[in-house]
Structure 1
Amino acid sequence: MSLKKASILIIVILLIDQISKIYIKTHFELGGEVKIFNWFRILFVENDGMAWGAKLSDFTSMITDRKAKVILTSFRLVAIVGIGYWLVSAIKSKGSKILIVAISLIFAGALGNIIDSVFYGIIFNDSYGQIATVFPEGGGYDSLLHGKVVDMLHFPIWKGYLPEWIPWYGGKYFTFFEPVFNIADVAISTGVGMLIVFNRKAFPKEHKVVKIDTPLGE
C-alpha cells in the first residue's frame, strides 16, 4: 500500500471525525441527546482526560487537573510523531497491507483527538446550557492545549440490575455499553483490533532458504 493511499485514508477519517464533532458542538448543548434506536443514541459529552474519562490527577494529588491535561496532550503529540514514523517505515519497507491500514487508522484517530485537545479550547466557547459558536467574541472556553475531546456515539445496548450471584457487581444497576466515544476512537480501536486479530498477516515472518554447500560425492 502506497503512502498516497494511506494519506487518503487518514484524510477521509479525519474529515468524518472533525465534521461530526463540529456539527455536534455547534448544534447540541452539553448533555443533549437524540435517540436513533433503543440501543443507539447521539449523546454529546466532552472528555478532558484519558480513555473512559480518567485523568492523571485521579492517580496522584501532586498533579492538578490543568497540569495533567498539558502532560496528556504533550504525550499525545509525541506519540503521534512515533506513530507517523512507524507508518512511513512500514510503507518504505513494503509492509503488509493490513499493517499499513491498521497504523493509518490508529494515526488518524490519534490525530483527530489531538486536534480537539490542542485547538478546541480556543475555537469554541463552552457548551454548558448553550450551543457553542465558532471563534466567539471574547475567546474560547480555554487556552491552547486545554481543549476537551468531543464524544457523541452511545450504545446503551442493555440496562438493568445484574444477578445477585455475580461477584462484586451483583445486584447493581448496569449499562452495556456505557462509554460514549467518537469516530477517532472507533478508528483507533479498529486499528488495534486488526493488529491483534490479524497479527500473523500484519507481521509475516520471513522464510529464509539456507543453502548448504557440500563436497562432491557426499
Structure 2
Amino acid sequence: MNLKKASLIIAIILIIDQLSKIYIKTSFRLGESVEVFSWFKILFIENEGMAWGAKIPGSYGKIILTVFRLFAIVAIGYWLLDVIKKNKPKVLAWAIALIFAGALGNIIDSVFYGVVFDGSYGQVATLFAEQPYGEWLKGNVVDMLYFPLYDGILPEWLPIWGGERFVFFEPVFNIADTAISTGFGLLLVFNKKAFPKEEK
C-alpha cells in the first residue's frame, strides 16, 4: 500500500464518520432512537470518556484523555508512515490506516465538538452554536449504532443471572469505533501475515 491509497482510506472513513455524527447531533435529541430493524437501532448517546464509557476521574480527566489521544494518534501516524516506507505487508498497512482513521475521528469529537455544538439534552443541537456546551478538548464523542441482537429475559434455571433481562450486543458505537475494531481484528486474524518472521 502506498501513502496515497492509505490517505484515501483514512479520508473516506473520516468523512463518513463525521457526516454521520453531525447528522445525528443535529437531528436527534440525546437518548432518542429510531428502529431500523428489530436487531438494529439508531440510538443517540454521547460518550464522555473512553471505550465502554470508562472515565478518568477529576475535573481534568477529560483533558488528560484527549491529550493522551493526541499523542497516540501521532505515534500511530508515524507507525503507518514507517510501514509504508519499508513496504511491509499490506494487511498491516490496512489495519494501521483503519485504526488511525478511527482514532482521529473520535479525537475530532473530543477536541472540537464542545465548542461548535450546543447541548443535546432535551433538544436537537445546533452546529456552530452561539453558546456551546463545553470547551476545547472537552467534547463528547457521538455514538449511534446499536445492535440489540437479543433483548429478553434469561431462563430462570440459569444460575446467578436467571430471570434477569439480558441484552446482546449492548454497547453503542460509531463509524470510527468500527474502523478501530476492524483494524485490531485484522491484526489478530492475520497476525502471521502482518508480522512475518524474518529469515535469518
Do they superpose with TM above 0.5? Answer: yes
Look up the SS of the partner of 1:4 in the other structure: helix
Q: Under a length normalisation based on structure 1, what TM-score does the superposition of the two structures give? A: 0.89
Distance 1:67 1:166, change over 3 A: farther
Q: Does 1:74 align with 2:74?
A: no
For residues 24-66 of structure 1, the C-alpha deviation after alignment (integer angstroms, 9 at most, x for no partner) is: 0011111111110000000000001111111122xxxxxx1x3
List runs of 5+ in structure 2 lacking aligned partners: none
- Matched pairs, number: 200
Look up the SS of the partner of 1:144 in the other structure: coil
Q: 1:93 aligns with which of 86, 93, 96?
A: 86
| Distance in 2 between residues matched to 1:122 and 1:37, nearest whole Å | 34
Look up the SS of the partner of 2:42 in the other structure: strand
Who is 1:24 aligned against?
24
Q: Under a length normalisation based on structure 2, what TM-score does the superposition of the two structures give? A: 0.96
> Whose Rg is larger?
1
Aligned-pair CA distance for 1:167: 4.7
Letter in 2 for 1:75: F
Who is 2:179 aligned against?
187
Q: 1:157 aligns with which of 149, 154, 167?
A: 149
Who is 1:61 aligned against?
none
List runs of 5+ in structure 1 lacking aligned partners: 58-63, 209-218
| Distance in 2 between residues matched to 1:169 and 1:92, nearest whole Å | 52
Who is 1:10 aligned against?
10
Write the mapping of 1:35-54 to structure 2, written as runs, cut at 5 A: 35-54=35-54
- What percentage of residue pairs aligned between the two structures are identical? 65
| Distance in 1 between residues matched to 2:79 and 2:155, nearest whole Å | 46
Query: Which deviates further from its counterpart, 161-170 or 112-121?
Result: 161-170
Q: 1:140 aligns with which of 126, 132, 137?
A: 132
| Distance in 2 between residues matched to 1:69 and 1:166, nearest whole Å | 40
Aligned-pair CA distance for 1:162: 2.1
Q: Compute the RMSD of aligned alpha carbons.
A: 1.1
